[in-house]
Chain A
Amino acid sequence: MLRPLYPVRPGTRTVLGVAFFVLFVAFWAWITLGGHVNRIFLADPLSMLKDGWRLLVEDRFWLDILITIWRVFGGFMLASVVAVPIGIAMGAWKPVEAFLEPFVSFARYLPASAFIPLLILWAGIGELEKLLVIFVGSVFQIILIIAVKVGSTRRDLVEAAYTLGATDNGIVKRVIMPANAPEIAETLRLVLGWAWTYVIVAELIGSSSGIGYMIINSQSRLATGQIIFGIIVIGLIGLLSDFAFKALNRWLYPWSLA
């Protein structure tokens, strides 16, 4: 019986989670190996693994992986360093919010991918352009989410701090910032996920290295096994960085879980 909102046992949860992956791959194997779709359009799981192995061993694909990881983290760090202080300032000081919020809200909807042609004109097709695509895609999102979180800091904590003698400056540094630190870290984790999307788009256009480049290159040779392998690698790295980020947050902010 499925009772609404009734928790599932941890063991069952793992089994169910793995089961879907198994079913998914089984279905994929069935339609490809069983000859239900044309090989040209979709490689089967086995040749995908074979293609992937060959990519890694012969084509030094791991270099592409490293360069993509560097681009994601580089662009993301750049965006964070700019966005976190601005977001906190907007959340904490209402005039700053009134000044920047309309523009940031507008800029948030500018698609990062549409900036690629411009960014290529400005920064060429080197690393800087890749970093800027990720920067443009992430920075406004981070600013806005953090501004909202900081703006909703518990008022009673702020009031308590004032009655304990905190100055306006002390409130920002020793109440607003620590109170929102876990939420800010959580926001960064979320946006890092989006950054992975932007990097691939950046690498599909005017690039000569990276996972995205490999994917677009494979398309012209109809190497669907390689494309799928590249996509899976992105998924795995995303998953790993997500786990690492979560573990870091748990370690940094034990008080928010306790």
Chain B
Amino acid sequence: MSKLLIEGVSRTFAGVGGGQPVQALQPVDLAVAANDFITILGPSGCGKSTLLRIVAGLEAPSTGRVLLDGKAVARPGPDRGMVFQSYTLFPWLTVAQNIGFGLRERGMPERERSDIVASYVDLVGLNGFENHWPKQLSGGMQQRTAIARALANDPEILLLDEPFGALDNQTRGLMQELLLGIWERRKKTVLFVTHDIEEAIFMASRVIVMSARPGRIKSDVPVDLPHPRHYTLKTSPEFSTLKAQLTEDIRIEAMRTAQTQSA
């Protein structure tokens, strides 16, 4: 049985000021197997974030439904952890308190919490920063904390919406390795939205390519590169072949987006 089932999910936004309603997402079907790492790749404005937010329960689909372990998703919940592109650490909580937020909401007592928090601080390499405020951290460290915060809740599925989009290139590369390393060791079902082709291939066991708005699934590309993956993989011939293929796919869609915007 699939871990996550997306069935005919579409999203139409009401027209602004009596204008025509805008379809952001055409009906999408997608089945995600347990412990799969799936990246959703598409040009900006293709509705990939909308799709992820619908899975998270932060937005309601206009049609269709999302099933997690066979149960329909109605609203956001701790079974679907999310990491956002913007820095969403709670600024009034320290790194450790941020990571423990979900556990605390669940009513877990302080002592039990601190062991779990410590293990996740360790996992993302933030030892020594437990008592820092988010403002005192770099962007990369903030996103590491956000990943730890989502994982500490032990969600059924981890959703990431361009989590490294605001980071510089070097940091982004390191973060990709960090997240992939965690996934390789701990196994988790992951849905990762990005517009970066290299990132999409490097992280994924399966890349879902989306078309320009209104988005739909254009292709579904398995990535059979061996694990554990090392950053040198990005320069291998197999990687380059995949990259060339996806670049071509995305380029057409990006051009389509550019045309509809100029029209």
> Which residues of A approach B to under 8 Å, CB–CB?
154, 156-157, 159-167, 170, 174-175, 178-179, 181, 253-256, 258
Contacts and interface: CB of A to CB of B under 8 A. Distances in A.
A255 B92 contact: yes
Contacts of B75: 162
A253 B84 contact: no
Contacts of B135: 255, 258
Contacts of A179: 90-92
A162 B76 contact: yes
Contacts of A154: 88
Identify the interface centre among B75, B88, B92, B135: most chain A CB within 10 Å of its CB. Answer: B92
A182 B151 CA distance: 30
B76 A163 contact: yes
B136 A258 contact: yes
B84 A156 contact: yes
Interface of B: 56-58, 75-78, 80-82, 84, 86, 88, 90-93, 101-102, 104-106, 133-136, 146, 149-150, 153, 159
B84 A160 contact: yes
B188 to A, nearest CB: 15
Contact of A163 (B81, B90, B134): B81
A157 B56 contact: no
Contact of A165 (B92, B93, B102): B102
B92 A253 contact: yes
Contacts of B84: 156, 159-160
Nearest to A180: B92
A157 B149 contact: no
B153 A164 contact: yes
A98 B263 CA distance: 40
Identify the interface centre among A156, A163, A178, A254: most chain B CB within 10 Å of its CB. Answer: A163
Contacts of A256: 91-92
Contacts of A253: 92
A193 to B, nearest CB: 26
Identify the interface centre among A154, A159, A160: most chain B CB within 10 Å of its CB. Answer: A160
B82 A165 contact: no
A162 B57 CA distance: 9
Nearest to A256: B91
Contacts of A163: 56-58, 76-78, 80-82, 150, 159
A165 B90 contact: no
Given A255-B133, A255-B135, A258-B136, A161 B101 contact: yes
B105 to A, nearest CB: 5
17 contacts: A156-B88, A159-B76, A159-B84, A159-B88, A160-B82, A163-B57, A163-B150, A164-B81, A164-B150, A165-B77, A165-B102, A165-B153, A170-B105, A174-B104, A255-B92, A255-B93, A256-B91
